[in-house]
Amino acid sequence: MSENLLSTVDLDQTLSAQTPQEILSFALEQFDNIAISFSGAEDVVLVDMAYKIAPEKVQVFSLDTGRLHSETYRYIEKVREHYNIDIDVVFPESEAVNKLVREKGLFSFYKDDHKECCSIRKIGPLRRKLLTVDAWITGQRRDQSPGTRAAIPVIQDDKAFARPGESLTKFNPLANWSSEQVWAYIRSNNVPYNELHDRGFVSIGCEPCTRPTGPTQHEREGRWWWEEATLKECGLHDVNIKK
């Protein structure tokens, strides 16, 4: 990317009306050093789409928390072979994990909450990876967690992970897609998927923090189900900001 982007707010309006493939095309055209975050679940559609748009530009990474299902490890390998691509598997700092396990054991998330473990096992390696790219792509969708994801934009200026004094752009091409649309794509394009989906897992994360959900449950109920569904409340309510 040559310039310091692009008004992401204006672009979000334009891109929101476009298909995930169009958004991905735009992202891959704008940035040379751009990577797709692949969680080993249905966000594989991004890998498939990007591969069809610009196979030579596909850079994929996965966060290996050390607690994934063995099915997910096998699946990541399957995707690597299917598309013949490199998948950069990134790991947490062993010292930080050691400290957590020494002080709080292997299942601290059941006693405290999942944030400490997730920040060490996911956010740490994610940050290290993102310091090496100019833009990244996630499979985050609004329908995954109605409370916190309602406002997921298609493109955003990612200040949290940007290198000091530089910018990092985040694309969420599936933001406006529903789970049904994702699965229709997987089926009609014969995209390989994680075998756990056939066993009732809708949302797939780490093994101790993921469980299958029933047809009437929201997929969020399959993650950290022992915690109360509390929403973080730090946004300034728009209605109250004087325009």
Partner 1 sequence: MKITLVKKIKLDGSLCKKCEEVQQKLDATGQISLIDEVLIADERDPLSPGMEIASLFNVERAPFFLVEREGKAPEIHTIYFKFVKEVLNQKTLEEDELKEILNDNPDLDFL
Residues of the shown chain interacting with partner 1 in the complex, contacts defined by CB under 8 A: 37, 39, 63, 96, 114-116, 118-120, 122-124, 126-127, 138, 140, 144-145, 148-149, 152, 159-161, 164-165, 203, 205, 223-224, 231-238, 240-243
Rounded Cα distance between 28 and 32, Å, is: 7
Specify whether 206 is catalytic: no
Q: What strand order describes the sheet that includes 34-37?
A: 87-90, 60-63, 34-37, 135-137, 169-171, 155-157
Strand, helix or coil at 129?
helix
- What does the alpha-carbon distance between residue 45 and residue 50 come to, in Å, rounded to a whole number? 8
| Residues 37, 57: Cα–Cα separation, whole Å | 14
C-alpha triplet 111, 117, 121: angle, nearest 5°: 160
Residue closest to ligand SF4 when measured from CB atoms:
206
If contact means CB under 5 to 8 A according to the sort of partner, which of ligand SF4, partner 1, none does residue 67 touch? ligand SF4
199 binds, options ligand SF4, partner 1, none, Cβ within 5 to 8 A by partner type = none
Q: How far is the CB of 138 from partner 1 (least distance, A)?
A: 7
208 binds, among partner 1, ligand SF4, none (CB under 5 to 8 A by kind): ligand SF4
Contacts of 33 (CB under 8 A, 6+ apart): 1, 59, 132, 133, 134, 135
CB of 201 to ligand SF4, least distance (A): 13
Q: Which spans of this chain sit near ligand SF4 (rule: CB under 6 A)?
A: 65, 67, 109, 114, 117-118, 121-122, 205-206, 208-209
State the minimum distance, in angstroms, from the CB of residue 17 to partner 1.
22
Give the number of other Cβ atoms within 10 Å of residue 61's Cβ: 21
Choose the one of ligand SF4, partner 1, none that binds residue 236, judging by a C-beta under 5 to 8 angstroms depending on kind: partner 1
We find the least distance from the C-beta atom of residue 190 to partner 1, in angstroms, to be 25
Residue positions annotated with a catalytic role: 234
